Every structure is written in C-alpha cells, then in structure tokens.
Structure 1
Amino acid sequence: MHRLRLKTAAPALAGSALLIVLAACTAGDPQPTATPESSPSPRPTPTEAPAPTLRPELSAAENLAYFDSVNQAVVTADPNAGGRAFIDALVAAGFDKAAMQVTADRTTIDLAADSVQFSVLFQGECLIGQYGPNSGGYHGAVRPVLGTGACLVGQTRPIDW
C-alpha cells in the first residue's frame, strides 16, 4: 500500500515541481523590459455624409434627399412658411420653376390651409412636398406623374412671381 501511494504521489509531485520552476523563470525578472511609449492612436471621427446636392442627371428618387433638405431648411427658417417660400427656395436650389406647382396657402373661404403642397416635375416623376400644421410636419415623396401630365391634383396657384 505504501508503494501505491508513492506511485500516485510521484506524478503530482513532478507536476508541482514543474509549476514552481516555470513560475520562478517568469516571475523573478529583476529588471522589467522597457516598452516604448506609444501615443494613443487617434480615434477615427465619425464622418458626416456630405450634404446632398442637385444631380439633374439622376432620377427623382435619387434627388429626393436634396429636395427634402431644401424644404427642411425652409421649415427651420420659418415654421409658418407658405407655398411661395418653398417655391423660392427650390428655385434658388436649382430646380426648374416652370416644372413646379403649388397649392394655395388659404382656402376658398379665406382660412389658413391645413397644409400646402408643392411639386417639381423631374425626370418624368414628381418630387412632392407637403407642409402645414395639420399634416404632421414636412413630408416629401416621389410619385408618378398624373395622367394630366401634372403632379398635383386639383386647382393649383399660378407661380407668377
């Protein structure tokens, strides 16, 4: 029985001795090795997407972000903006005034319209915007041209300025 204990104890003893030798080799380094000081690498800054621009050679859908950005700027500058402000801003942004339509700011009984709608016929499609107190803010969309060749249904206001 004594011999059995030595047989099982020997491998355990050898394993412990090996651990002690390895620990002594790594833990007893009297002089730490110097690591070169490194400056922290610069963190990449999030890049903002470039501001959209008018791309007349592209589709209406590909220009919707630009159309929306122009109209959002109008809303930011004047929360009470009417149709003329949107048309003027779109013209200044490079859209063709002759291809635009806008609804009236006032109803036939001279009340403020719930919303104003405006459009640009662009590359065979319609860029349409809507803004007003009862429309939940600004909305923009691309829609097909109507059978009449226009973008907006009903009577629109002449753009004669």
Structure 2
Amino acid sequence: MAKPDTRSTGRVGVGVFAVLLSAGLLAGCSTPGGQSTGTPTPPAGSESPAPDQQAPQLVPGGTADENLPYFDSVNASTLAADPAADGRAFIDGLVAAGFDKAAMEVTSDTTTIGNAADSIQFSVRWGESCLIGQNGTAVGGYHSTVGRVLGTGTCLIGKTRTIDW
C-alpha cells in the first residue's frame, strides 16, 4: 500500500484552516442577527479617514455640467424635506439655492383629469444648455440630466405651467 504524500495533505490542511480563520474573522464583523455593524472602529494610533469632499456649490460662470452636482444636491434636499415634493417645492428650493426663477420651467403636478401626475419635470435654462430634473413613481424616483435648449428656446417638451408665485 502506498503512503500518502504528506506535503499535499499539509497544503489542504492549511487551506482549510485559512477558510475557517476567514469565516471566524468575518463572523466577528456582524451582529448575532447577521446584520452588519457598520464601519469598523480603526485601531488606536491609526490615521483618520480623509475628510469628505466639499459639498457642491453653485458655479455662476460655470457650465451646466459643472452645476449639475449642485442642482442634484438642492433637489435631494427638497426630497429629504418632503419625499412627496411637488413642482413648486422643487422650484422654490432651486430659487432659494440661487438659481434664476425666470429661467425655470415645470410641468403640472396633476393630469388633465385631475389625478396626481406619475412624474413631474422641472428645468433651469443655463446658457444654451438645460439642467433637467424629473421625479415620480413612474420613473423610479429622482433623475437628472443636462440637455440642449430646444428649438423653441425652452428646455421641456410639451405643456408647462406658469411659474407665477
């Protein structure tokens, strides 16, 4: 009868040990219910994490692309304050953040028969570009883009409501 090669069984044993050790270490990162405990505490004497990037700001002389992060952050704040925000709430938030109200458009919050719209669109004309936002259940929440000004000189296609407040 041939004798087993102890070198290969030793490697298998080391591999099994490594898997078990990893599983044990990972088990220490979760709570008894299996949910993550969040960010681990750094060991004493370790460096602090890098500070977060600066919050987006309005760039008055910048491009629409440069202002899109700020547009998004303003709209995210509007939604954080009211997840069911209507068109007026988005427009008011953008005006308060420094965008030009005269350059804005917004679609109606209701359909032609008076039901709540599945989504609304709003925009800010920025030179020959448009910052366009859309929010609603039909589109899976908030989305934004930068587009070109249409041949009509507007940003949104179709009927928009007058911003008269």
Q: Structure 2 length normalisation: TM-score?
A: 0.72
How far the C-alpha of 1:41 sits from its partner, in A, is 5.4
Q: 2:89 aligns with which of 85, 90, 115?
A: 85
Question: What residue is the counterpart of 1:157 in the other structure?
Answer: 161
Output the amino acid matched with 1:148.
Answer: T
Q: 1:108 aligns with which of 108, 112, 128?
A: 112
Number of residues of Structure 1 aligned to a counterpart in Structure 2 = 122
Q: Distance in 2 between matches of 1:116 and 1:110?
A: 14
Q: Distance in 1 between matches of 2:80 and 2:45?
A: 39
Encode CA deviations 1:47-98: one digit per residue, 9 max, x unaligned: 1010101001010000000000000111111111100000000000000000
Moved over 3 A (4+): none
Q: Distance in 1 between matches of 2:60 and 2:151?
A: 23
Question: What residue is the counterpart of 2:137 in the other structure?
Answer: 133
Q: Distance in 2 between matches of 1:124 and 1:91?
A: 20
Unpaired runs of 5+ in structure 1? 1-39
Identity over aligned pairs, percent: 60
SS at match of 1:134: helix
Unpaired runs of 5+ in structure 2? 1-43
Q: 2:65 aligns with which of 55, 61, 74?
A: 61
Q: Does 1:70 align with 2:63?
A: no
